[in-house]
Structure 1
Amino acid sequence: MSETNQRYDVVVIGGGAAGLSGALALFRARRSVLVIDSGSPRNAPASHVHNYLGREGTPPSELLAAGRAEVLGYGAGIERGEVVTAEKLADGFRVVREDGSAVEARRLLVTTGLVDELPAVEGLAARWGREVLHCPYCHGWEVRDQAVGILAVSPMAVHQALLWRQWSDDVVLFRHEQPDFGDEEYEQLAARGIAVVDGEVAALEVGDDRLTGVRLAGGTVIPRRAVVVQPRFTARSAVLDGLGLVPTELVVGDHVVGSYIAADPSGATDVPGVWVAGNVANLMEQVVGAAAAGLKAASMINMDLVTDDTNRAVAARRTPFSAEAERQVTERVLGDRRHGLQETR
């Protein structure tokens, strides 16, 4: 393993909205910060970011580029790499990348996001983020008044159909492989004019690089311009395994919706010194919420470091006098002064 003597106040693992927001706040708090980013943001397939006040409609790549520029402008470091593990040290953590290189940090902020695991339906993954959608608040406006299909893959299917009905009066619910709905659910769907189609969905139909319909196993094609599906949201949390932080399953009814790393409202985990923010901790967080979570976690990390700095200073002050201690203080003070004189020359 290639080692390094580099040590930071905080290493941020993940360079999305949460990670960059946290890094910006921490560097503005005069902390030494390194962001390590794998370069695989969750929202890369999407064409635009929505519901982010002041940034509405910005392409995800542009938003991240602007965020990186702001962080780099303050002097924080951003490096590309895949972190494979984090290890606890006596005084902080060691973060190890896939190439074997390692850095140390007093605190960690993990903002690695999640992976959207889609059902195995032909054509679904290829259209993900384009006409295959999951969040009406993110994409509903863009497909308003169009023919929308809901692919039932969880007990939330009826809820999804009723929700998306807000954006279009042409909504079809494909029952696919889900159990039959109850009488009350059918009544709700009928009252809202939502048709239910029985039978397994085999594939999506595409023409001229545009979704045109949903093909059933029997060959029937139902014209649709957008398809809604509920992915399984799986936290990208393998880096935390070595610290004993394992994902918690989010269960709705008897169905596992996804997994996340449990934390308190500030993002603090059960491992002292480790915070999480964004989708790795909150599966439903949108971009603006992830950025806010990164900021909140950063403020708490800085306060934790302030407390640690103070405790260390108090302990040093109480240390009995010795010639060696005096020499170290003198060298530090004179060194700081020399550094200041050099900067002003």
Structure 2
Amino acid sequence: MTTTPPPPGPLLSAAELNVTFPGRRGAPPARAVDGVDLDIGAGEIVALVGESGCGKTTLARSLLGLVPPTAGRITFAGEGLAYGSRALKAYRKRVQLVLQDPSGSLNPRHTVYDAVAEGLRIHGYPGDEREAVTEALSRAGLRPPERFFLRYPHELSGGQRQRVVIAGALVLQPELIVADEPVASLDASVRGEILALLLSLRDELGLSALVVTHDLGLAWNIADRVAVMYLGRIVETGPVEQVLTNPQHPYTQALLSVLPESDGEPVVLTGEPPDPSRIPGGCRFHARCQILASGEAARAGVDERCRTAALPVLTGGDTAQVACHWAAARAGAGVGN
């Protein structure tokens, strides 16, 4: 399996990306993705983290070309993403999707061989199909690959099914995969194996990945950078070690506090994320913010700003950034840096 030289700059880049869905029965439009800048470098794994309903899956689907953005721009290898059928077909050969539930991704009537070969047939692969399927299954850790050719999904374990899905992505020799909760449906004993596989693919093939997850613990184990998303926006981003060992945004702090290895008391966020058709003014997290509720924001002199002053969209790139009035006030005072 060959790899192409990495392009200058980010491999995949989103700039000022918006995805808005029409409101139902006269309701305002829902801003599922609301001004997002995000870069993924060649050979880099980026974790996109947030609660259910925060917009991360919609963002991922937009980056895949499955949901056209309402505004903004997506570039891949320095070229803008085009939405004609031929252009999208070529793009999806280079950017592949790995879904959460392997059982739902695999046709129960197809053998493993046919499941992996499907992409080759769609794209009119001119080479040796059997050789390509064999190599992809081997890369995905199903060895000897010939032993799996005639098996059906129901004859495999959950981990083996996920490896078949990954092989189906790898067979087209993509440069980037988008993995949406890739281990959420697997037993704990198998999760580590799949994460180790994704890391080995990065190291051996230079494969880039966007891993969509609600689990910051997973991000810690696999990602080079992390982007924390809340209500359609990236609220904190940076190198994974920096963000997860010294989180600046109260939302990131709350997500980390519920991990088993966390030292402090868990932060229980009140209520659900607001409706994306009714995004509040000021900081969009302020209605659930533990820092505002505790009076810490008032002591920092930013409580009114939290409720009324909008925050800028975080730019792309690999530096640590946070969109939070309280974190900015602390940084100005030399606290927590």
Please give the TM-score of this superposition, normalised by the length of structure 2. 0.25
Whichever of the two has the greater Rg, that structure is: 1
Please give the TM-score of this superposition, normalised by the length of structure 1. 0.25
Relative to its length, the structure with more helix (as a share) is: 2
Q: Which fold has the larger relative contact order, with Cα–Cα distance below 8 Å and residues 6 or more apart in sequence?
A: 2
